[in-house]
């Protein structure tokens, strides 16, 4: 960030397209470096030729790079009008572009800048107040302060540097104190939860010959978890070889096991919903959902959550008329041509308490998780199938982004992933347990249902929206000055 800010400020004509191209180039490096695994995913599992995968991934990287480009363009314009003081607006401008990545088009807020702080736990505690966008703002503030010291020659640069050091110091000290006290760890109702990591290879997952073996594996792992005292057991995303409601044998076995053990099971599976034909001579059509079924101790289905944020190029192809060459990817995802997104978050009744779940990458949408907590979720869960990522950094990125939700909401997080990473995170972002990739594992942990609310769970992304308002106000002011 510091080199980008320095380059923008030193550009002779900040209003020209050169400033935008500087941001675009930075964005291309940023996203190509964090999303490189898309090519291997689309070629290995999507059936695309390498050239087609490179083009599809390149288009996504190019699209995401527009946001850093917009950051550089706006910062350059404001610097041209207001001088060095405009650099103080850099955190707001950057956060505004990250907010755009969440809401523009279908949204793809993967690897926001603030996620890089999730393992720096004292600083990451700030997310319990301002969320991941607030952490992004803090990082940009530090980087811009460094740029300010390099560029400015007035005494103001030292005031900016000292103020930044003080802010970071206060945040770090407060965060360390919060970690040491950890009051949430002693509150709430205990529950023993298990996450199952079946480790089913992606190319074996939809082979009809493997259906019985896959179901037998998960049922056996469930019994292992029950033997260790688990009362709430999570299966990964799309764990069942057939849709839960259509799989008579497998569904009956799951229900029977729940009744015998008096346990609650959360099962990732597809759901098929019939659509009545408009005319008698038309065939009945169906909608397909990526879903999670909560099976209660009496064997009934207590809730069904349908995935709301579908994966582009994974569960649907955006702009299919243009990106027709990416169609084979959809066929490799499941037996269905495309999924339909769910409409609302659904709470999951676990005994007398409420939990919530996020399927796969929708856990990177902070507002979605916050809505569940606002509605009464006392425990966060997420189920996923990260076999698509292979051994790339994507699985680790996904885990880190899920961990941020625990800090923001002040909730325990349980994560079941088909091939990993599975495990548990406490309300402060500390890893309680964590599995390696591509190993079969059953992990049981005592955690808690928590009812306390963090400041972030109450105010949401207020910092991000205020950043957008400040950026727009500054930009309009610069326009009037012009």
Residue 380 bridge partners (DSSP) = 356, 413
CA 115 to chain centroid = 10
Note whether 236 and 416 are within 8 A (CB).
Answer: yes
User: One of 98, 237, 408, 409 is an active-site residue; which one?
Assistant: 237
User: One of 98, 205, 315, 360 is an active-site residue; which one?
Assistant: 360
Instruction: Tell me how far CA of residue 447 lies from CA of 128, 229, 426, 427, in angstroms.
Output: 19, 13, 8, 10
If you write DSSP's letter for every residue of 81-123 in order, what string do you get?
HHGGGGGGGHHHHHHHHHHHHHHSTT---TT-GGGGGTTSHHH
Active-site residue, 237 included:
yes
Active-site residue, 283 included:
no
Closest to 412 (Cα-Cα) out of 427, 433, 434? 427
CA dist., res. 175 & res. 428, Å (int)? 10
User: One of 98, 205, 296, 307 is an active-site residue; which one?
Assistant: 307
Any idea which residue has 């299919």 for tokens? 320
DSSP helix/strand/coil, 145: helix
Classify strands 301-306 and 285-295 as parallel, antiparallel or unpaired: antiparallel
Residue 442 bridge partners (DSSP) = 196
CA dist., res. 102 & res. 99, Å (int)? 5
Active-site residue, 360 included:
yes
Just list the catalytic residues.
237, 307, 360
């Amino acid at each position: 960030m510091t080199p980008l800010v320095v380059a923008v400020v030193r550009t002779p004509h900040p209003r020209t397209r050169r400033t935008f191209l500087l941001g675009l180039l930075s964005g291309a490096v940023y996203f190509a470096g964090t999303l490189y695994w898309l090519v291997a995913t689309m070629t290995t599992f999507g059936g695309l030729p390498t050239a087609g995968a490179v083009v599809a991934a390149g288009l996504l990287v190019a699209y995401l790079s527009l946001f850093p480009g917009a950051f550089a363009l706006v910062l350059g314009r404001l610097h041209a009008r207001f001088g060095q003081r405009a650099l103080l607006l850099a955190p707001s401008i950057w956060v505004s572009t990250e907010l755009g990545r969440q809401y523009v088009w279908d949204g793809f807020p993967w690897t926001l800048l603030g996620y890089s702080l999730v393992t720096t736990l004292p600083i990451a505690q700030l997310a319990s107040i301002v969320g991941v966008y607030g952490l992004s703002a803090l990082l940009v503030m530090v980087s811009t302060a460094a740029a300010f010291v390099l560029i400015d020659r007035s005494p103001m640069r030292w005031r900016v540097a000292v103020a930044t050091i003080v802010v970071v110091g206060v945040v770090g000290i407060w965060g360390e104190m919060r970690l040491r006290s950890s009051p949430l760890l002693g509150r709430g109702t205990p529950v023993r939860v298990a996450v199952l990591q079946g480790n089913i290879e992606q190319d074996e997952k939809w082979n009809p010959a493997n259906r019985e073996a896959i179901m037998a594996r998960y049922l056996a792992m469930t019994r292992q978890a029950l033997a260790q005292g688990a009362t709430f057991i999570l299966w990964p995303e799309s764990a069942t070889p057939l849709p839960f409601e259509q799989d008579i044998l497998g569904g009956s076995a799951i229900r029977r096991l729940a009744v015998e053990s008096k346990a609650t099971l959360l099962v990732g599976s597809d759901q098929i919903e019939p659509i009545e034909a408009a005319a008698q001579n038309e065939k009945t059509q169906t909608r397909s959902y990526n879903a999670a079924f909560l099976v209660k101790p009496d064997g009934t289905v207590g809730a069904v959550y349908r995935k709301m944020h579908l994966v582009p190029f994974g569960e649907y192809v955006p702009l299919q008329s243009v990106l027709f060459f990416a169609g084979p990817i959809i066929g490799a995802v499941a037996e269905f041509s495309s999924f339909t997104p769910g409409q609302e978050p659904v709470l999951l009744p676990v005994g007398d308490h409420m939990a919530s779940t996020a399927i796969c990458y929708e856990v990177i949408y902070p507002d979605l998780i916050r809505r569940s907590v606002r509605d009464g979720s006392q425990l966060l869960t997420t189920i996923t199938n990260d076999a698509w990522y292979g051994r790339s950094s994507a699985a680790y990125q996904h885990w880190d982004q899920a961990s941020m939700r625990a800090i923001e909401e002040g909730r325990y997080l349980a994560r079941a992933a088909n091939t990993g990473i599975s495990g548990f995170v406490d309300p402060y972002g500390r890893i309680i347990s964590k599995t390696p990739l591509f190993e079969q594992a059953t992990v049981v942990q005592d955690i808690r249902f928590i009812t306390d609310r963090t400041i972030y769970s109450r105010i949401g992304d207020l910092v991000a929206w205020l950043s957008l308002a400040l950026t727009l106000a500054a930009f309009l002011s610069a326009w009037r000055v012009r």
